[in-house]
Amino acid sequence: MLTKESLQFLDDLKANNNRDWFLENKKRYEIFKKDYHQLVADFLDAMKPMDPSLELLEVKNCTFRINRDIRFSKDKSPYKAHLGVWLSTGVKGQNRSGYYVHIEKGASFIAGGLYSPEAEDLKKVRKEIAFFHDDLEAIIADKNFSKEFGNLDVTETNSLKNPPRGYEKEHPAIDFLKLKSFTATQKYDIKEVTQKDFVAKMSQKLIALKPLNEFINRALTTDEF
């Protein structure tokens, strides 16, 4: 869980997203940062027994800097007014599927899978789906996955209008093959963040994504192409 003070800090930062205000509230930020890191530690403690692949992760591997990269953005706000927790076995230069917790007023969600992979990784996942789509369909049909996430996320920006190169429109898994990201998402109310059972509750939901992550990571780690 996060404290109400930490959520208030995010609200205040969103309303005063500038360097002067941030420096004036540096002590509040340090308290917020400590609370944030404790939340990540709690998620690691909850998730590691359920997914041993996360065993070597430390808090520093699962957090995000509060500073925004504004070099190529029209929005020049210097700081993020949300926070995220990313649990994945991927390291720098090596993309992997994983679990994600997003905390933002009016836009909080949990998710998992692989978001916007590079072209080479995208080809690997599509090849895995093409040959083993029965495995993916079984994962999505599982009662725990179905109950929590329903299906993989499909949006206009996330899915091709036409089949990707090399695949026929009649392929039985063509809807999956058209995807450019392979994620599943569930929204929640930010009020839940301050409840004592928040980490335990969300971890039980997230673990339903473990088979999906394993399927995707199987594709990413194969030497065949």
9 part of a folded domain: yes
The token duo for 216 is: 């995707």
Residue count of the chain, please give it. Answer: 225
pLDDT tens digit sequence for 146-181: 999 999 999 999 999 999 999 999 999 999 999 999
Per residue in 87-120, pLDDT (tens digit) is 998 765 678 999 999 999 999 999 999 999 999 9
- Please count the helices (runs of H) and the strands (runs of E) in the chain: 8, 4
Report the number of distinct structural domains present in the chain. 1
The amino acid at residue 104 is E
pLDDT tens per residue across span 6-63: 999 999 999 999 999 999 999 999 999 999 999 999 999 999 999 999 999 999 999 9
pLDDT at 94: 74
- Residue 168 falls within a domain, yes or no? yes
78 within a domain of the structure (yes/no): yes
Is position 97 within any domain? Answer: yes
Domain that residue 117 falls in: 4-220
Helix (H, G, I), strand (E, B) or coil at 13: helix
**Which DSSP symbol is given to 72?**
T
The answer to whether residue 225 sits within a structural domain is no
Residue 28 lies in a domain: yes
pLDDT for the residue numbered 28: 98
The answer to whether position 56 is within a domain reads yes
